Structure 1
Amino acid sequence: MLQIDDLHAYYGQSHVLQGVCLEVAPGEVVALLGRNGSGRSTTAKAIMGLVDWRGSLYWRGQSLAGLAPHDIAQRSIGYVPESRDVFAALTVQQNLLLGQKSRRKACRWSLDDMYQLFPQLAQRQHTKAGVLSGGEQQMLTLCRTLMGDPDLMVIDEPTEGLAPQLVVLVGQFLHTLRQRGVSVLLVEQKLTIALQVADRVALMGQGRVVFTGTPEQLRARSDLRQEWLQV
């Protein structure tokens, strides 16, 4: 479904991605792990056309080279940035409705689905998004992207700064995506949740993928965890 090969990206003179190779199969959850600065978020941004890159990046056999972010989104790829961008002046419900790509096409997801996934949003549906807590804004960003009915969601650090009970809800959200056949590329620092929800993990270090395998295989490699994850 998503195929990345020899992907390179730069910030000025800094060579951030140095030949990333990665793939996500239909219905698969792949966790992209690594320390800050390893290139995980830049990989996500490259997929969405938000940074210049060179190499090969294919979605369903078609190259994403040269496409604008909105064109990539129209190809059924959803993106949840780490910044938790919401439309502050609009209500929760209005934000969710804006996430819909087209009202002519039947969608797998409804407003009721979003409120079942995160009941707190149902209680706040008529509240302006700008006054929500950080955790509520994260819920809203996840659900607004899902309202676009993507076949792949690229999710960057969804549990960053969240209270433990909200981390549990995000984990349940990710399990629901897998059950409903949505592929996920999950950029995550919390090893516990990543290993719980992922079918495969890809470990990044110094701008490249240094390991891919199952969560069980990574659990068995304390040497890799110590070299590329532990501070």
Structure 2
Amino acid sequence: MLTIKHLHAFYGKSHVLHGVDMAVGEGEIVALLGRNGSGRSTTAKAIMGLVECEGSVLWRGQETRGKEAFEIAHLGIGYVPENRDVFPKLTVHQNLLLGQKRSKKQARWSFDDMYRMFPRLKEREHTEAGVLSGGEQQMLTLCRTLMGDPDLIIIDEPTEGLAPKIVELVAEYLKVLRSRGISVLLIEQKLTIAMAISDRCLVMGHGSIVFDGTPQTLRDNTDIRKEWLEV
């Protein structure tokens, strides 16, 4: 579905990604792990055309490198950034409405689906997004992206700063996405959550992929965890 080959990314003269090779398959949850500064978020931005990069990003066999972010989104890739970009002066419902794409096909998700998964959003339906709590804004950003009916969703640190109960809710939500045939690239620091729900784990260090395997293989590989993940 998504295949990345020899991807290099740059912020001005700073060379951040150094030949990243990775793939996300159909209906798969892939966790992209690593310490802060390892290049995980830059990888997401490179996929979405938000940073200068070289190499190849193939989406269903089509090269997307060089396309604008909105063009990539319309191909079926959704992106939930770490900074929870909501429209603060618009209500919850209006934010969700802006996430919809005009399409001839029947969307997999509806407003009712969003409100069923996160009842708190239903309670705050007519509230301006800017006054929501951090957890509520995270729910809203996830749901707004889903309203665009992506086939792959890239989620950057969805559990950052959230209460444990909300973290569990987000984890269950990601399983629901997989059950509906949506692939997930999950950028996460919480190993417990990532390893519990992912089909495959990638570990990134110094702008490259240093491990690619199952969660169980990563659990068994103490050397990789000590060198690239543990503080």
TM-score (norm 1): 0.98
Secondary structure at the aligned position of 1:112 is classed as: helix
Cα RMSD of the aligned pairs, angstroms, is: 0.8
AA partner of residue 153 (structure 2) = M
Distance 1:141 1:214, change over 3 A: same
Residue 197 of structure 1: how far off its partner (Å): 1.0
* Counterpart residue number, 2:114: 114
Aligned to 1:199: 199
Q: Distance in 2 between matches of 1:105 and 1:133?
A: 34
Report the CA distance between 1:71 and its aligned residue.
Answer: 0.3
Which amino acid in 2 is paired with 1:78?
G
Tell me the TM-score normalized by structure 2. 0.98
Tell me which residue corresponds to 1:87: 87
- Structure 1 ranges of 4+ moved more than 6 A: none
Provide the residue aligned with 2:10 in structure 1: 10
Give the superposition deviation at 1:223: 1.0
State the SS of the aligned residue for 2:144: helix
Distance across 2 between alignment mates of 1:7 and 1:20: 5
Q: Percent identity?
A: 67
The equivalent of 2:164 in structure 1 is 164
SS of equivalent residue, structure 1 residue 74: helix
Aligned length: 231
The unaligned stretches of length 5 or more in structure 2 are none
Whichever residue aligns with residue 30 of structure 2, its letter is V
* Counterpart amino acid of residue 101 in structure 1: K
Query: Quick one: which amino acid aligns to residue 90 of structure 1?
Result: L
Query: Structure 1, unaligned stretches of length 5 or more?
Result: none
Structure 1: distance between partners of 2:138 and 2:36: 20
CA distance in 1, matches of 2:74, 2:67: 11
Asked whether the equivalents of residues 47 and 65 of structure 2 are also in contact (C-alpha less than 8 Å), the reply is no
